[in-house]
Amino acid sequence: MRATNQISRKNNKINLTVYKKILGNIRDAFIVAQDGRTKYVNLKMLELLGYGSEEELLGKEFKTFIHPDDYPRVLSNHQRRLQGEQFESVYEFNALRKNGELVPVEIRVAVLEWEGRPATLNFLIDITERKHAEKSLRESEEKYRNLYHYAALGIFHSTFEGRFIDINPALAKMLGYDSPEEAVSLITSISEQIYADPPLRDAINAKALEAGGFISVTNCYRRRDGTLWYGMLHLRIVNDQQGRPSHCEGFVEDITERKRAEEELRQNRNMLDHVLNTIPQSVFWKDRNSRYLGCNLPFARAAGLENPDKIVGKTDFDLPWPEEEAEAYRNDDRVVMDNNLPKHHIIEPLQQADGSRLCVDTSKMPLIDGQGSVYGVLGIYDDITERKQAEQTLRLHSEIMTHIAEGIILIRVKDGIIVYVNQKLEEMFGYDVGELIGKHISIIKAHGGKSSDIISQEIISRLQEQRMWNGEDICRKKDSTPFWCSANISSFNHAEHGKVWVAVYSNITEMKAMMSELENSYRQLRVLNQRWVEIEELERKRLSAELHDEIGQNLTALGINFGIIKMSLPTATDSVVYNRIDDSLNLLKRSSVHIKSIMSNLRPPLLDDYGLVPALHWYAQESAKRTGIKISCIAEKLPCRPVTEIETALFRIAQEAINNSVKHAKAKHISLNLSYAENRLYLVIVDDGAGFEMQVISGQGSRGWGLMIINERCVGIKGICCIESKPGRGTKISIEVPL
């Protein structure tokens, strides 16, 4: 009952019995209050407040069933109403039930006269369910607002013509705007400003109408800065009351990362296919019935197929394997799948499509689905034909290593530990079989009084500095006996031990003794050779002196005698006698000249009288006259005259070099150059002759001997001799002698 239907105070003559009769027939819960106390309640009110009888409330203060927080407001409203203020006095408060529970109620207040005085007629409606509904609605609205504002999906409402009405922050961010308001105000046309392909909008709308107003489609969108992104659009067209499209609503899911992931997945699949088709191993996979689900290109080629797709659905019996081998392959498949365990290193024969046979090492493992069930088998095999052949070769090499005459040892680089020795090395060093394995390399080295740490470091440092090394070293046997070894050492990467040094040892103790004897013999020979050179020079000098003193003087005397005889002959003497005497005189002159030449070659007087420089100039000139070859000589004036041995040796070297060039090189020009610097003499003889290969000069007869004589004469005066020559490029002999 509303306030407009209140009982007028003018009808205050109605007695109380009539009031009660009227109020008793009202079904709403109400209560009559006067002076803040209860005057009358109906049964509905008793039920609402949880009381059993009217007497429990009559005379009670009105605030008995009002929550203390709400009572001042309720009392004020009642007083205002009793004072005649006309307002819509409908409001809510929390009522208190007898058991203390709160009941949300809505109150409607009217004024009547009760027992001759004004009273309020208060109708209370239990709004608990409505409050629950309102709460649920508020929560639902809050959830929707949160979903709308915080959802990762872009949500929108737009006009059917293509202008946004409202969008959430997620969509604004997707489109590159700072806020939804900014996007709505600036985007005037979805078709022109958002879709990367503007004509797509009409197609979307048409398709949506055909689909009954709803569509899901992948589209490419353009951000505010022009960059593109992919989204999945879910769109619903809302019709008006006349069934015409009025506006659109929907959401957009950013699938750029998904598209990128799909592209990466596609690329990864392509890469996987590429890897599978380029690795040397053959790969295949089958179902539970051993039917091929796929394979890589190497396996397809072995099976004689054009490409891997051709193998799908086939079995091993459909491929060019012998039937018994195909049956063995299938049995292996069943064992792997039934036991759900991988099986490795299955050494099998394999006949290829071209008829050739391989030896393959196969590994098989079960294929398991998401529920843990085996649905097939995966196989990988390696062609180990070459490895098998290599193993046979390795066994052969092992036999060779066992019986080879040299001792072989492997040393691990990182710590110098011996990891392998052959039988010959163990015998060479006096150790039992396997006794050296695990020992440090220093165990076989002669320490020479040094500690094992020092000798170990020296060995390792020397090996680390030189990747390859060969030479001689003193080693020691197990009984500490030292002996000489020649060693050739190099490094390589071992499959088991990593980087190792491999050393090949030969016992050269006897050879060293022989070499020592040979060296002693060579030194004695060199002393004898030097003595022979000295004797030779003395003999040359003696012969030259004798030729000068004896034969030269005799020839001179003969010439004088023949002159006297010619002058003493009678005038009438026959002319034949005169001619004979003249011939004899000419012969004596030529013999004298020849004798002088022999004397000069044996021992040039210039060398003894004036020294090396004049002697070289004289010999170059004489040789040029005698041979017709251009011979130039440049010799500096020396600060002091060298000792006789050096002068003689350098002169003989120049003499031998010029003779070699004339006789063997067919040179057109020969140059001699003698210089002095820092207390050292330098003699260089160069010709432009035929030249020769240094490696084969020892087999060229007198020429080889001539070069050897040059070298020996140089060594005899503690000099250094360097001979350079190439076929067609002449020869250069350089001598360096300390003074």
> Does residue 11 carry a pLDDT above 80?
no
| pTM score above 0.75 | no
Cα–Cα distance for residue pair 120/108, rounded to 1 Å: 10
> Does residue 205 carry a pLDDT above 60?
no
Q: How far is CA 433 from CA 330, 416, 420, 429, 696, in A?
A: 48, 20, 11, 11, 47
* Confidence band of 377 (pLDDT split at 50, 70, 90): very high
- Give pLDDT, residue 10: 42
Cβ 285 vs Cβ 276: under 8 Å: no
Segment 120-143 shows an average pLDDT of 86
- Give pLDDT, residue 294: 92
Strands 292-295 and 418-421: unpaired
- Give pLDDT, residue 448: 57
> Does residue 312 carry a pLDDT above 90?
yes
Give the model confidence (pLDDT) of 207-225 as tens digits. Answer: 555 555 677 888 888 899 9
Type of residue numbered 203: A
Q: Assess if residue 10 is contained within a domain.
A: yes
> Does residue 313 carry a pLDDT above 50?
yes
Q: What percent of the chain has pLDDT over 90?
A: 12
Residues 305 and 373 grouped into a single domain: yes
Residues 159 and 233 grouped into a single domain: yes
Q: Which of 450, 484, 507 is the last residue of a domain?
A: 507
Considering only residues 570 and 301, tell me which one the structure prediction assigns the higher pLDDT. Answer: 301
Q: What angle do CA 341, 346, 350 make, to 5 degrees?
A: 130
Give the model confidence (pLDDT) of 420-467 as tens digits. Answer: 888 888 888 999 988 999 998 888 877 555 555 665 566 667 666 666
Cβ 726 vs Cβ 691: under 8 Å: yes
Which of 50-54, 68-72, 564-568, 707-711 has the least mean pLDDT? 564-568
Which of 21-30, 162-171, 381-390, 647-656 has the least mean pLDDT? 21-30
Give the model confidence (pLDDT) of 712-739 as tens digits. Answer: 788 878 889 898 888 888 899 999 998 8
Residues 609 and 729 grouped into a single domain: yes
What strand order describes the sheet that includes 669-677?
630-635, 669-677, 680-687, 731-738, 720-725
Q: Assess if residue 556 is contained within a domain.
A: no
Q: Assess if residue 13 is contained within a domain.
A: yes
* Helices 509-546 and 644-660, axial angle in degrees (round to 10): 90
Which of 28-42, 95-109, 598-612, 620-634 has the least mean pLDDT? 598-612
Residue 98 lies in domain? 3-133
> Does residue 618 carry a pLDDT above 70?
yes
List the structure tokens of 131: 């409050």
Strands 669-677 and 630-635: parallel
- Give pLDDT, residue 25: 59
* Confidence band of 76 (pLDDT split at 50, 70, 90): confident
Q: Assess if residue 562 is contained within a domain.
A: no
Give the model confidence (pLDDT) of 137-189 as tens digits. Answer: 888 888 878 888 888 888 888 887 778 889 999 999 999 999 999 988 988 87
Residues 360 and 465 grouped into a single domain: no
Segment 642-646 shows an average pLDDT of 84
Residues 250 and 283 grouped into a single domain: no
- Give pLDDT, residue 671: 92
Residues 734 and 623 grouped into a single domain: yes
Residues 52 and 109 grouped into a single domain: yes
Cα–Cα distance for residue pair 40/19, rounded to 1 Å: 10
Q: Assess if residue 459 is contained within a domain.
A: yes
What is the Cβ-side half-sphere exposure of residue 387, based on CA atoms within 13 angstroms?
8
Q: Which of 206, 227, 260 is the last residue of a domain?
A: 260
What 3-state DSSP class applies to 53?
coil
Which of 143-157, 245-259, 511-525 has the least mean pLDDT? 511-525
List the structure tokens of 546: 């004798």
Q: What angle do CA 563, 567, 570 make, to 5 degrees?
A: 140
* Confidence band of 695 (pLDDT split at 50, 70, 90): low
Q: Assess if residue 435 is contained within a domain.
A: yes
Give the model confidence (pLDDT) of 354-369 as tens digits. Answer: 667 777 788 899 999 8
Residues 384 and 408 grouped into a single domain: no
Q: Is 734 exposed, middle or buried (0-12, 13-18, 19+ CB in 10 A)?
A: middle
Q: Which of 205, 233, 260 is the last residue of a domain?
A: 260
Considering only residues 462 and 42, tell me which one the structure prediction assigns the higher pLDDT. Answer: 42
Q: Assess if residue 540 is contained within a domain.
A: no
| Average pLDDT across the chain, whole number | 80
> Does residue 27 carry a pLDDT above 90?
no
- Give pLDDT, residue 140: 82
Residues 75 and 173 grouped into a single domain: no
Residues 23 and 107 grouped into a single domain: yes
Q: What is the CATH number of the domain that holds 52?
A: 3.30.450.20
Q: What percent of the chain has pLDDT over 70?
A: 79
Residues 460 and 361 grouped into a single domain: no
| Tally of domains in the chain | 5
The size of the chain, in residues, is: 739
Q: Assess if residue 648 is contained within a domain.
A: yes
- Give pLDDT, residue 22: 63
Q: How many CB atoms lie within 10 A of CB 599?
A: 20
* Confidence band of 13 (pLDDT split at 50, 70, 90): very low
Cβ 656 vs Cβ 735: under 8 Å: no
Q: What is the CATH number of the domain that holds 663?
A: 3.30.565.10
- Give pLDDT, residue 107: 87
Residues 463 and 487 grouped into a single domain: yes
- Give pLDDT, residue 374: 92
Q: How far is CA 172 from CA 155, 186, 229, 241, 476, in A?
A: 9, 11, 13, 31, 87
